[in-house]
Structure 1
Amino acid sequence: MDPVFSIALTNALINSASAVLLVRARQAIKRREVSVHARLMIIVTLLQAVFLVLYLIKTGLYGTTPFVGDPTLRAVYLTVLGLHSLAATVNVPLVIVTLILGLKRKDVLHRRWARWSYPIWLFVSVTGPITFVLLYAFGRPGYGIG
């Protein structure tokens, strides 16, 4: 199997799992299950660290993967990818601060930061797999996942 595809697929699965765990973590805190929420958020953070390492390896070794499909779909792909990348970049410091505040049990500040970091993180975790599907189903002839 193509290593670029394998890493991209792994990262799409990591993002998908992260989206599910983020929602579960939010449900846990709404039920006041603080320890469940904390464990889930640590798992999501570790998953995202693995994602980042794999992404940097893939990009460092192989560069970017061009979209070579239909120009209209390419525009959709680039729009989703651009929004995903911007949101991910903006959210990194938000997540770090939110995580630190949560670990220090500064709950009021943690909640304030999470009001911003959670929806952005969820958006990133959902749009990551969408960009993968757009790229490999429509922008890379021969992969046949579409």
Structure 2
Amino acid sequence: MSVNDLSTVNAVLNALSFVLLLIGYHHIRHGRQAKHKKWMVGALISSMFFLISYLIYHYHVGSIPYPHYDWTRPLYFILLVPHIILAAAMTPFIFYMVYRALQGRFELHKRVARVVFPAWVFVSISGVLIYVMLYLR
């Protein structure tokens, strides 16, 4: 595996995070806190592996410009800009949210999760879509 393969690894890790987040959400909505915790820890771990892989990839490869000059170009940037902003903004809040849950401060955890969870889901799935548009189209 080369450094260039990490873009695919990143997309897979984003897709995995997306699925784990949805499963974890399903469990908490049905009152299964122990299962929720396991799936959400999985989402956190896959997201952490994504971040490590992403940083390694971009350290070696740099930024990849969008190669298409057609109707998809504005769509790509409409997706990319909030993806980048939310990814950067939500990271410290994810750790805060996890910290509160580990402390047993579930009301604070829940309050933060109502904002952070949708952002995390969006960033995970939009990362996959960005990969498809950038590398597979």
TM-score (norm 2): 0.93
Q: Which residue of 2 aligns with 1:73?
A: 72
Q: CA deviation at 1:70?
A: 2.2
Q: Which residue of 1 aligns with 2:116?
A: 117
Report whether the alignment pairs 1:13 with 2:6: no
Q: How far, CA to CA, are the matches of 2:136 and 2:75 in structure 1?
A: 13
Q: Which runs of 5 or more residues in structure 1 are unaligned?
A: 139-146
Q: CA deviation at 1:78?
A: 2.0
Q: CA deviation at 1:40?
A: 0.9
Q: Which residue of 2 aligns with 1:83?
A: 82
Q: How far, CA to CA, are the matches of 1:58 and 1:107 in structure 2?
A: 36
Q: CA deviation at 1:37?
A: 0.7
- Give the aligned length: 137
Report the AA paired with residue 127 of structure 2: G
Q: Which runs of 5 or more residues in structure 2 are unaligned?
A: none
Q: How far, CA to CA, are the matches of 2:67 and 2:43 in structure 1?
A: 32
Q: CA deviation at 1:32?
A: 1.3
Report whether the alignment pairs 1:106 with 2:105: yes
Q: CA deviation at 1:71?
A: 4.1
Q: How far, CA to CA, are the matches of 2:3 and 2:93 in structure 1?
A: 31
Q: How far, CA to CA, are the matches of 1:2 and 1:104 in structure 2?
A: 40
Report whether the alignment pairs 1:3 with 2:3: yes
The root-mean-square deviation of aligned C-alpha atoms, in Å, is: 1.4
Q: CA deviation at 1:79?
A: 2.1
> Structure 1 residues 78 and 2, CA, compared in 2 at 3 Å: closer, same or farther?
farther
| TM-superposition CA deviations, 1:23-64 (whole Å, max 9, x none) | 110111111111111111111111111101111101111101
Q: CA deviation at 1:69?
A: 1.5
Q: CA deviation at 1:66?
A: 1.5
Q: How far, CA to CA, are the matches of 2:75 and 2:68 in structure 1?
A: 11
Report the AA paired with residue 41 of structure 1: M
* Percentage identity across paired residues of the two chains: 28
TM-score (norm 1): 0.88
Report the AA paired with residue 80 of structure 1: L
Q: How far, CA to CA, are the matches of 2:82 and 2:88 in structure 1?
A: 10
Q: How far, CA to CA, are the matches of 2:79 and 2:2 in structure 1?
A: 24
